[in-house]
Amino acid sequence: MADTTVTSTSPSSPTIHGFFETQTSTWQYLVVDPTTSIAAIIDPVLDFDRETQTVSTTTADALLAFIASNNYTISHILETHIHADHLTAASYLQTRLTQTQTESSRPPICAGKRIEQVQTLFATRYSIPTVEHQTAFDKLFDDDETFRIGNLEAVAIHLPGHTPDHLGYHIGDNIFCGDSVFHPDIGTARCDFPGGSAESLYHSGKRLLAMDPETKIWVGHDYPPAERGEEVPYMTVREHREHNKHLREGVEKDEFVRLRRERDQKLGEPRLLHPSLQINVRGGRMPAPASATLREGVEGEQPSTSTSTSPNSWNHYPIQPNPLPI
């Protein structure tokens, strides 16, 4: 059961299902072409137990059950960026869907073209072998590249600031903005990760707020303040222009950058930072057993492919503790 659904009102507008994952406060989305039941998944979550350092697939399996019960066919798995606060279920879902879908069987895992910079940076810091991340994403979008989800047109929009690779996906009157802006009563996402930039986020935010006022901005996370009480997946451009506490009309760039930097200096490290980055630069694949050996200096050894394709490998697989602090 989806936590929220906005039903299509015309052949060119998608039906959108939102699923809120409470452990990491992440909104996951299914965007469905109403004419073909072909759909895209955006930013799916893999469960992670910090105590035992293990992953499980309860959230992703619920998404798969929902997809199956609605007879949807998944054409794309879309990532907005390399997340630092949750693990992606992209690879797990791709494997499962490839086993179960009869048409267009293997949905590509897609991200922005600059994701390679982020992969390279964190692969170095975590000693991740190149072979484990270089093919993690099947499709890297150029800026403003268009693609189709069934008969729907989608556009990949570069929204740097939180991370340099960050994309939004513009589909009908909707923009899935990942971690760029958050709801008006929260403001914007942090910019203090490597390659992040408050100046860039200001321009990305203003680009979003220049869209049609009725465009829905679907966020990657929600942390509702007490006054609001419950999570919601979207608010409109009009609401952001009037009320976004960091980016509403009248806020100049210098003011935003100062405010964003001050705020970021007070923020702690994300709870799941190290496991998230290690898995997400791999597109959600688990580390191969050979990685441990490679970390000890045996270069060039090919990891076993069985761990990256067997569904069992996602269950209770130990994540390596962070070998190099970032």
List of residues contacting Fe ion (CB under 5 A): 83, 179
Pick from 169, 170, 177: nearest CA to 27: 177
Of the pair 33, 179, the CB lying nearest Fe ion is at 179
The least CB distance from residue 177 to Fe ion, in Å, is: 11
Residues 5-37 as b/e (b if ≥16 CB within 10 A, e otherwise) read: ebebeeeebbbbbbbbbeebebbbbbbbbbebe
Taking every pair of Cα atoms in the chain, the longest distance, rounded to a whole number of angstroms, is 57
Taking CB atoms, the residue at the shortest distance from Fe ion is 179
**293 phi and psi, to 5 degrees?**
-65, -40
Of the pair 21, 179, the CB lying nearest Fe ion is at 179
Written as one letter, the residue type at 160 is P
The least CB distance from residue 82 to Fe ion, in Å, is: 8
Of the pair 189, 294, the CB lying nearest Fe ion is at 189
Element (DSSP H or E) covering residue 74: strand 73-78
Q: What is the rounded distance in angstroms from the CA atom of residue 323 to the CA atom of residue 321?
A: 6
**184 phi and psi, to 5 degrees?**
-55, -35
The least CB distance from residue 220 to Fe ion, in Å, is: 6
The least CB distance from residue 84 to Fe ion, in Å, is: 6
Element (DSSP H or E) covering residue 122: helix 115-126
Q: What is the DSSP string of 274-297?
A: HHHHHHHTTTTPPPPTHHHHHHTT
The least CB distance from residue 252 to Fe ion, in Å, is: 25
Q: What is the rounded distance in angstroms from the CA atom of residue 116 to the CA atom of residue 200?
A: 19
Of the pair 86, 96, the CB lying nearest Fe ion is at 86
Of the pair 47, 79, the CB lying nearest Fe ion is at 79
The least CB distance from residue 164 to Fe ion, in Å, is: 12
Of the pair 59, 280, the CB lying nearest Fe ion is at 280
